Structure 1
Amino acid sequence: MNKSSDSTTENATNNVTRHVTVAVIGAGTAGQNAFRTASKTTKNVVIINDGFWTTTCATVGCMPSKLLVAAASRAHDAQHSDQFGIHADVRIDGKQVMARIQAERNFFTHNVKKQVDSWPNDKKISGRAHINKDGLIEVNDELIKADKIIVATGSSPFIPDNWTDKLGKTLLTTDNVFELSDLPTSMAVIGAGSVGLEIAQSMSRLGVAVTLFNRENRVGGLQDDDINKKAIECLGHGLTMELNSRVDDVGTCSDDKKSTAFVKYKDSDGQAQEWQGEYVLVATGRRNNIEQLGIENLDVELDDKNRPKDLDINTGQIGDLEVYIVGDANAHIPLLHVASDEGFSAGSSVCPNNTDADMRPPSIPLSIIFCEPQIANIGMTLPEVEDSGLHYVIGEVSFDTQGRSRVMGVNCGLLHIYSCKETDKILGASMVGPDAEYIAHIMAVAITNELTIKALLDTPIYHPTIVEGLRTALRDVQDKMAIPYQAQLTQEDGF
């Protein structure tokens, strides 16, 4: 790996137990895809993994959290159907809720593990890899020389300094919250990003006394102030939030029976406050697992946030080194579909005689938060559009009055579409609203294929659907561009 041939290196090389064409370190979504793709064209490949041989998504991320969201949605609908003339007494069995989450989670992880088990045993190594000063991979009792290395070591929940010691058993992260045998009585959630929002709202809907804290007056990382304001309004109907607050201290206080967690903070007015309850869920983001790997011994440079410099976002390659860092490990866009594409691309790039069949172009930015109403961001953010120098307009639609949304009783939301005046194409969009996941995918397809506003309006949109709101926003774009739409008039949204 571009190392000097001094005597120390020569001695180390003589002790090599295995020489491979490709070594993949990490067996999450990105690593598994990289291994499978590389294996198509070379048999001299090995994958090394420390911990479970499933994925973050299936084990502690996307899937168990969506199982929690699904349970919460059922409970909420059953409890809040009075407007339809439907009245019910609802009993929530916390143990059954958590048991189903764990059982279904195990179903997903079993399927992942089943595929891993089908791989040849001599290609899999369980253990913690470390890259030494000679660029060789040390793992267990092996010393491996790899012509090419794919790093896919994923990420872990970030916990502020000393919080683990201060909170003890009352500290939760996504690594252990889904292992609870019963729903807690109360919970503080620190962080209003995707994880914090989904878990906080779901737990609240399931009868847990939840307070959500965030240091900014912002939720879901929204960068469009109008969408953010609307999201806070919609989510605030059933969730206690302490936004624009500052956590000063956390800890526990004990009596004869149990420990109680506390959070000392200053509220949005700067007044000192204290929360007490059963658990504190820390949802302050994730950090890539790269610090202890020895990546610097491969001449890879990291910035002050542990992100690799000279990263090719198409392949994950670092400069002209035969080193590829993919998935959450590169801290580029920590989303499953991005990690999947990066794994395929890296696995293709390292293989000789590759036909580029599995090369994936960079994805259009797409994120969806599965709170209710859902939050979605697609393409360029509003600050990016503003900084681009492009002439743009913002088309919008409110879901407060949109036809199908009112029929369903989910009428709270707002969609903004950012469109370029010169090209008549969509630059990006931000939304909080019902069925945002479906509108987000339509928008992503439109941006990926560079469809014009007119081309998108020429496609059929069925009546009456929530997606009709998208058409209203697109028409608003055209009105603001002063470009008349000449197609035959269609029935207006919801009526």
Structure 2
Amino acid sequence: MNNDSTTNDNSSKKDITRKVTVAVIGAGTAGQNAFRQANKTIKNTIIINDGFWTTTCVTVGCMPSKLLIAAAERAHEAKYSEEFGIHSDVTINGKQVMARVQAERSHFESFLEKQVDSWPDDKKISGRAHINKDGLIEVNDELIKADKIIVATGSKPFIPDGWADKLGDTLLTSDTVFELSDLPDSIAVIGAGAIGLELAQSFARLGVSVTLFNQKNRVAGLKDDDINAKAIDCLGGEMTMNLNSSIDELGTQHNDNGNLVAFINYTDKDDIEGYWQGDYVLVATGRRNSIDKVGVENLGVELDDKNRPKNLDINTGKIGDLEVYIVGDANAHIPLLHVSSDEGFSAGSSVCPDNSGAYLRKPATPMSIVFCAPQIINVGMSLPEIEDESDLEFVIGKASFDNQGRSRIMGVNCGLLHIYGCKKTDKVLGASMVGPDAEYIAHILATAITNHITVKQLLDAPFYHPTILEGLRTALRDVQHKMDIPYQTIDTQKDNS
């Protein structure tokens, strides 16, 4: 949960109202885990939070977006099953779709709320915290001295300067889109990252006219050009994609019926000016932390030009020799829930007298999953990172899912998998993929990287037939085959085997 603040340093006019051993600022995934862990052995612990006492994931992120995706998948399968001999007329009730999203979201929220309700009232403070120049925490009418501070203030959607004023009520972000009571007729999505791509496809499958804009000719942050091109090919038929385009102007105006709508003037990839008009503009240009507004600099924390803390211990979130921990999205290291959860646990362990458990966690293997259809994954090192290692000999094992047996049976046969293998160690360096069941392939490869499992050992495991996971075996066999070829003869960029 984000905990923005403006500076209000009036500590000289106040007396310290409370002294605590540990103060956690922010009650999202990282903050709640940190508080629970610290509170096991330290009685004098508090948690301060501004806004809802759930998490970004449950309230405005992972869960409501997957609820929308689930509805979209049902609609898509119902509408496009003619190849199986199944014909149907589909009616989408937008109000019912959004009502279920909100109801199920509330169901998930209730579990977190019940947990928070079980915490002692004197350890919970609802309010906006700011750390003043004396290193004291100001919140509501209190002035708190904490021996150790864990900052877990999360992130918020980034909105370019001026856009909020220009778009007014037609502006949506991932924090507000799930509050819609009905599906709109039309929407523009700006940003083709994970959030933008998932929501754009979901709305399109639910009958909304969707136009996706992105400044670069890329989707989902893909860094492997072949996988990116395949992803665009697989996804492009479901919505209008204006990739490699720039937004020249946007705002609101009245249409021919006198209704207030949003508009966008843009320049496309061919330098041709274009125009869009519709109900809403969903700005999905990323999320940013806001720890610069919490006052962490008054604790001696240094930030870089992107608001990321310097001297960060990626295992515990500890900042150098300071008794300050910055965890979860607040540190902008790897803004993913499983990482935030681990960081919160480790920080909460670290502040305890017996903190050995904090150092047992391995640094997380990078893994991202975009839940569009087909899914997009990145695991381990990216292709550019590998290429930057001049002495690293690698091969790329490839598997197409266009004619992969089970994928074709299910009618989801569009995809491509690249596995980057190290010739010296016979281990997986990383992978990138667009294709069906990619989320499971991501977990298998992440486990292999984390536990140093070789390609040969992966191939020794059984691959049941017929499954989509047989495509993983195809790519691994391609890696193994190329391992035996002299490295100088392999063109890792152009090989199409």
Name the TM-score, length of structure 2 as normaliser: 0.94
The Cα shift of 1:462 comes to 1.0
Task: Tell me if 1:143 matches 2:143.
Answer: yes
Aligned match of 2:122: 122
Which residue in 2 is equivalent to 1:406? 408
Q: Distance in 1 between matches of 2:362 and 2:290?
A: 25
Q: For residue 260 of structure 1, what is the aligned residue in structure 2?
A: 261
Given the superposition, is the C-alpha separation of residues 13 and 425 from structure 1 closer, same or farther in structure 2, using an over 3 Å criterion?
Answer: farther
In structure 2, what is the Cα distance between the partners aligned to 1:449 and 1:145? 42
Return the letter of the residue paired with 2:249: D
Q: How big is the shift at 1:358?
A: 7.5
Alignment of 1:100-249 (within 5 A): 100-249=100-249
Tell me the residue number matched to 1:292.
Answer: 293
Whether the 8 Å contact between 2:290 and 2:307 is mirrored in structure 1 is no
Query: Which range is displaced more, 257-266 or 144-153?
Result: 257-266
Q: Distance in 2 between matches of 1:357 and 1:17?
A: 31
Instruction: Give the deviation of 1:249 after TM superposition.
Output: 1.0
Q: Displacement, 1:239?
A: 1.7
Give the partner amino acid of 1:381: S
Worse-matched range after superposition: 345-354 or 355-364: 355-364
Query: Are 1:321 and 2:310 counterparts?
Result: no
Cα shift at 1:14? 8.3
- Partners of 2:38 and 2:114 lie apart in 1 by 19
- Mapped to 2, the partners of 1:346 and 1:239 lie a distance apart of 43
Contiguous gaps of at least 5 residues in structure 2 = 1-8, 486-497
- Cα distance in 1 between the residues matched to 2:328 and 2:56: 11
Work out the CA distance in 1 between the residues paired with 2:152 and 2:358: 21
Deviates more, 1:353-362 or 1:185-194: 353-362
How far apart in 1 are the matches of 2:402 and 2:369? 20
Pick closer, same or farther for the CA change 1:257–1:35 going to 2, 3 Å: same
Aligned AA (1:435): D
Contact 1:41–1:354, Cα closer than 8 Å, also in 2:
no
**Secondary structure of the corresponding residue to residue 401 of structure 1:** coil
Q: Show structure 1 runs of 5+ residues with no match.
A: 1-8, 484-495
Instruction: After TM superposition, give the deviation of residue 257 of structure 1 in Å.
Output: 3.8
Q: Give the equivalent residue in structure 1 for 2:4.
A: none
- For each residue in 1:219-238, what CA deviation from the matched residue of structure 2 results, as whole angstroms up to 9, or x when unmatched? 00000000000000000121
1:378-393 map, 5 Å: 378-389=379-390, 390-393=392-395
Indicate the SS of the match to 1:397: strand
- The worse-fitting range, judged by mean Cα deviation, of 64-73 and 349-358 is 349-358
Report the AA paired with residue 25 of structure 2: I
Match of 1:396 among 383, 395, 398: 398
**Deviation by residue 1:44-89 (Cα, 9 ceiling, x = unmatched):** 1000000000000000000000000000000000000000011000
* 1-structure distance, mates of 2:61, 2:400: 31
2:364 is matched with 363
Partner deviation per Cα, 1:441-492 (whole Å, 9 max, x = no partner): 0001110110000000011111110000000000000111118xxxxxxxxx
Cα distance in 1 between the residues matched to 2:57 and 2:389: 34
Relative distance call for 1:14 and 1:249 in structure 2 (3 A) is: closer
- Please give the residue correspondences for 1:18-33 in structure 2 after superposition, counting only pairs within 5 Å: 18-33=18-33
Q: 1:35 is matched with which residue?
A: 35
Per-residue CA distance 1:386-426 (angstroms, 9 max, x = gap): 11231000001000010000000000000000010000000
Is 1:418 aligned to 2:420, yes or no? yes
Query: Cα deviations across residues 209-253 of structure 1 (Å, max 9, x unaligned)?
Result: 000000000000000000000000000121210000001111000
Amino acid at match of 1:302: L
- Aligned partner of 1:332 in structure 2 is 333
Superposed CA offset, 1:308-335 (max 9, x none): 1111101101111010000000011110
Whether the 8 Å contact between 2:347 and 2:358 is mirrored in structure 1 is no
Name 1:5's counterpart in structure 2.
none
Distance in 2 between residues matched to 1:31 and 1:258, nearest whole Å: 44
Moved more, 361-370 or 12-21: 12-21
Aligned-partner SS, 2:91: coil
Deviation at 1:13, TM superposition (A): 11
Match of 2:272 in 1: 271
Distance 1:359 1:190 in 2: 41
Write out aligned runs for 1:428-439 (5 A).
428-439=430-441
Confirm whether residue 47 of structure 1 aligns to residue 47 of structure 2: yes
Question: What is the DSSP-based 3-state SS (H/G/I as helix, E as strand, rest coil) of the residue aligned with 2:200?
Answer: helix
CA distance in 2, matches of 1:370, 1:353: 40
Amino acid at match of 1:132: N
Q: Distance in 1 between matches of 2:16 and 2:307?
A: 29
- Aligned amino acid, residue 204 of structure 1: A
Counterparts of 1:96 and 1:52 in 2: how far apart (Å)? Answer: 25
Partners of 2:357 and 2:171 lie apart in 1 by: 46
Kept after mapping to 1: 8 A contact 2:346/2:358: no
Alignment of 1:68-107 (within 5 A): 68-107=68-107
The answer as to whether partners of 1:78 and 1:88 remain within 8 angstroms in 2 is yes
In 2, the alpha carbon distance for the partners of 1:357 and 1:296 equals 25
Moved >6 Å (runs of 4+): none
C-alpha contact (below 8 Å) 2:210/2:240 kept by paired residues: yes
Matched, 1:450 2:446: no
Verify the 8 A CA contact 2:402 2:413 in the aligned structure 1. Answer: yes
- Cα distance between partner residues in 2 of 1:441 and 1:379: 11
Displacement after TM superposition at 1:179 (Å) = 0.5
Is the CA contact (8 Å cut-off) linking 1:344 and 1:359 kept in structure 2?
A: no
**1:490 maps to which residue?**
none
Give the % identical residues: 74
Distance 1:83 1:209 in 2: 24
Q: CA deviation at 1:258?
A: 2.1
CA RMSD of aligned residues (A): 1.5
Q: From the superposition, tell whether residues 311 and 465 of structure 1 become closer, same or farther in structure 2 (CA, over 3 Å).
A: same
